[in-house]
Structure formats: C-alpha cells, structure tokens
Structure 1
C-alpha cells in the first residue's frame, strides 16, 4: 500500500508544470503560447528570462531528485530508479497540464542526482562541454543522453569511483529516455540540419545579442 501511494506521489511530483505555473503566476503568460510552445526550461529562458528559467530548471530537476529519494526517505526496499522514472513520466505526461509536458531532460537529470550525485555531476560536465562547443541546448541534451547511457555501462569498469557497480535498470532507463529525448527533439534535429536551430548566449557559437 505504501509503495502504491509513493508511486502516485512520484507521478504527481513529476506532473508539476513548473514553467506553466511560474509563467502564469508571475508573468501572466502561458509559455506554451510563445517561443517553441514547450513548457520546459529552455523555452522558459527564452520567453521569461534567465531568472525564471533558472527557477524552472531547479524545480524540474529537484522534482526528479525528490521522487527518486522517496523509497530511501520511507525506508522501502525498492530500486529508487523506478520512482525517478515515474516522475519523468509525470513530467512528460502531466495530469496538471493536459498530459502535454516537457522533453524529460531536466527531470531525468534530477533522477540521476537522486540516484548517484557523482554520476550526475560527471554527466553535467559533459553536458556543459557540449553546450559550450555547440551553443545549442538541443545538441547538448541529445549527446548527453547518449553519453549517460554508454557511461552507465562502461564506468563501473573504467572509473568505479563515479559509478561503482553496473545497474541494469539504470542502463535500461537511460536507453529508453535517450530514445524518447531524441524523439522529442525531432524538430530541433531538422533545424540543426538546416542551420536554423536556436542558439544560446554561451559558448563558441553563441547567439549574438
């Protein structure tokens, strides 16, 4: 019974539409009507500015982290990754926003933070490097997802300090999320091919102000 309640709680946590709520409460805007139409962090930065974007990123990240930590907090002998995955599902199919959510990147990162902080920061460094080189969040998100999946397999053998043991569930979830992230970025991929993808004001190819 406790597991069932926490599963629902993990989904509800993931379903919190941070970008939509921040936009409506503080800016009187529904960010789904602006920019890319997405309710996630990147579009929040673009439409509402840096401060709102950072707040939404933190909220989307931490809801994945908190959900992943639920079985630890309540002393359940269950792999915490299941709860992190449910939060990601809630983020992408939120009951509070008509089941139309974000692209899963920030909440998936939050799941990693809750599961293994060292693995999270290791992955974050890679994300920032790719973002610096490309100045495109979409490119950094896609390549980081692939990198995390591969790292979940090889790190226990090459760098066990970061990830001591191989967890088949971690690899499976990372693989499934990578496929989903690539799918959700299909329009971005098309814009990358045509050279029209949005760039951020950071890195070697940053957007000129």
Structure 2
C-alpha cells in the first residue's frame, strides 16, 4: 500500500510540474505559442522575451509555485506515516526533481517544455527556505541590473550550494549540498548556448521595463 501511495504522489508531482504555464498563457491570452518564437523554450525566460513583462512575471510565479507544491507533497507522506522524518529531505528532492522533469518534458503539450529553472527555484523554496530566498534575491537583483534571465538563473543556481557551506545554513544531511552542486552544474550546462551569446554580447534581454507593459 505504501508503494502505491508513494508512486501516486510521484506521478502527481510530475503532473504538477508538467503544467505548461508559458504555452497556456501564450495561447489563451495572446494567440501565440512561445515555443515557435525566441529560443523555442516554454519557460519564463522565453515568455519575457516574446510576450513581455506581465505574462513573463505570471509564468515565472506559477512555475515557481509548481515546484514548491510538488516538492511539498513529501509532507503528506510524512503526515500519513508513509515515510520517516529522516527521509523527508530525500523525498522532497525526489519529488522536486520529478516536477522539474515534468516541466522540461510536459505530457500535456507533446513533451516540449522549458529549462525548469523557475520550477527548480520553487523546489528549493520548499527544501531550504532561507537559502532559497537569498538565491531568489540574487536572481532578481541580477535580472534588474542586466536584464539577462539566463545570467540571473546561473548565478542564483551557483549561489545555492555555496550558501549551504556557511555554518548558519549548513543542513543536517549531506544530500542537500551534493544536490545543490549537481543542480548548479546542470543549470550551467543547460545554458551553454546562453553563455556563448553572453560572451559574444548578443544574448537577448528580457522586457522588464517597469514603465512598459506588453
């Protein structure tokens, strides 16, 4: 019975993560499939680029919420006595990763999604709130200063494992910093093309002008 419950929760985490926010917002309110424009990704970055500040902000917020909600399903397993307290972080990481995979490969729209950075941020919020809020702050500050979502995402991802090395944020389990290092590497690797464009000075900037709505 416990295996069935865990399997159902994992499936639910995937279905939550797979909600194609960018595609649905673009098609429903603008008649545009963001995957056919810009970078071709169905994520917040490309939504900012293609549709502008307001829809980009909405997509980013919902994608963060997806990651947080899916990861927090682990608390249900704990409350239902399906898992032990010492297993909570491990299952949060499992469910969060499944949600990110769902975002990247969404069943609802032909398995063509985004890079999963916003959903990953939601996952981190559910796993380590304090460090996640600092990383979110880094993301926002860099984004406002440079307008490069890709650069903001990479710096926030790199900051996560580094912050976990500080005594005030050091977790009880080695799983979290190891996961943080893995995620930072993966985020950088998935942004290889962005890094090239940044170095060449041709990376697209997000439309986040506060005096303009698109």
TM-score (norm 1): 0.86
Q: 1:166 to 1:123 in 2, by over 3 A?
A: farther
Structure 1 match to 2:185: 179
Give the alignment partner of residue 64 of structure 1, picking from 58, 62, 67: 67
Shift of 1:164: 5.2
Tell me which moved more, 76-85 or 9-18: 76-85
Aligned to 1:3, the other structure's residue is in SS state helix
Give the alignment partner of residue 197 of structure 1, picking from 171, 190, 203: 203
Tell me which moved more, 133-142 or 103-112: 133-142
Q: What's the Cα RMSD here?
A: 1.9
Structure 2 match to 1:142: 154
CA deviation vs aligned residue, 1:173-202 (integer Å, no higher than 9, x gap): 222222221122111111111111112356
Paired residues, what number? Answer: 197
Does the aligned pair in 1 maintain the 2:49–2:204 contact within 8 Å? no
Q: Which has the higher contact order (CA 8 A, sep 6+)?
A: 2
Spell out the pairing of 1:147-158 with structure 2 (5 A cutoff): 147-152=159-164, 154-155=165-166, 157=167
Tell me which moved more, 108-117 or 129-138: 129-138
Partners of 2:29 and 2:119 in 1: CA distance: 22
Shift of 1:50: 1.9
TM-score (norm 2): 0.84
For structure 2, the residue ranges without an aligned partner over 5 or more in a row are: 210-214
Does the aligned pair in 2 maintain the 1:13–1:87 contact within 8 Å? yes
Query: Which of structure 1's runs of 4+ aligned residues deviate more than 4 A?
Result: none
CA deviation vs aligned residue, 1:100-148 (integer Å, no higher than 9, x gap): 2211210110001112222221111222333344331111111211111
